[in-house]
Amino acid sequence: MIKCLNILIIGLLISVACLTQNNPISIPNVLDVIHSRKSVRTYTGQVVSEEQIEILLRAGMSAPSAMNRQPWFFVVVDDGDILKEFSESIMYGKMLSEASVAIVVCGNMRRVYSLLPDYWVQDCSASTQNILLAAEGIGLGAVWIGIHPQKTRTKKIRKILNLPRYIVPLSIISIGYPTGVEKPKDKWAEEKIIRNRWKD
């Protein structure tokens, strides 16, 4: 009887171990987050916490960067007046007045790699995308609002935030709790892929 019970317990332990190894719920599924990300422009009004903001910033700083220069700089904006100013200054940025918080992802020109200075755009874009994915992953909604290289937008944001010349705003990420109206788009397009060489 005891032997039978032992075998049963060992069997149960092995099954649990196998289940935990293969169970997609116990492993953060990066593909689920990637495919469910969408631009979210409507928010419930619920406040995004400091802990959540830190999660987003940590994700932003985990991005790859050319020569590992990490040329990013972040401005966290939770002041309603500034968010309103943003929304009034950017034609396609009206959602910012309803956002709980915005993160302005900037390039620090004092940190760019001197031989390839333009890489800061890719570096800060990777950082922006990391923040968008992290937001989706923790149940928030966010949208990328492009600033650089639009001169007028850059000038306006620079003025509102009183940024020094060497800090260039690349994007504003508008963040809040999603209302649920926005859905991810299916963008799979086989015709956008070739294998090996281009054929005329």
Q: How far is the CB of 117 from ligand FMN (least distance, A)?
A: 19
Taking the least distance from each CB to ligand FMN, the nearer of 93 and 178 is 93
SS (H, E, C) 89-127: HCCCCHHHHHCCEEEEEEEECCCCCCCCCCHHHHHHHHH
Taking the least distance from each CB to ligand FMN, the nearer of 71 and 178 is 178
185 near ligand FMN, judged by CB under 6 A: yes
Q: Which residue is nearest to ligand FMN (CB)?
A: 146
Q: How far is the CB of 92 from ligand FMN (least distance, A)?
A: 4
Total H helices, total E strands in the chain: 6, 4
Taking the least distance from each CB to ligand FMN, the nearer of 14 and 134 is 134
146 near ligand FMN, judged by CB under 6 A: yes
Closest CA to 181 of 42, 15, 70, 74: 42
162 within 8 A of 96, measured Cβ to Cβ? no
DSSP state of 39: B
H or E element, residue 142? strand 141-146
Distances (CA, A) of 82 to 79, 104, 110: 5, 12, 26
Taking the least distance from each CB to ligand FMN, the nearer of 106 and 145 is 145
105 near ligand FMN, judged by CB under 6 A: no
| Terminal-to-terminal C-alpha distance of the chain | 75
39 near ligand FMN, judged by CB under 6 A: yes
- With a CB cutoff of 8 Å and minimum separation 6, the contacts of 65 are 71, 72, 119, 123, 126, 127
Q: How far is the CB of 35 from ligand FMN (least distance, A)?
A: 10
Report how many residues bind ligand FMN under the rule CB under 6 A. Answer: 10
38 near ligand FMN, judged by CB under 6 A: yes
Taking the least distance from each CB to ligand FMN, the nearer of 84 and 110 is 84
Q: Using CB under 6 A, list all residues that contact ligand FMN.
A: 38-39, 41, 92-93, 143-146, 185
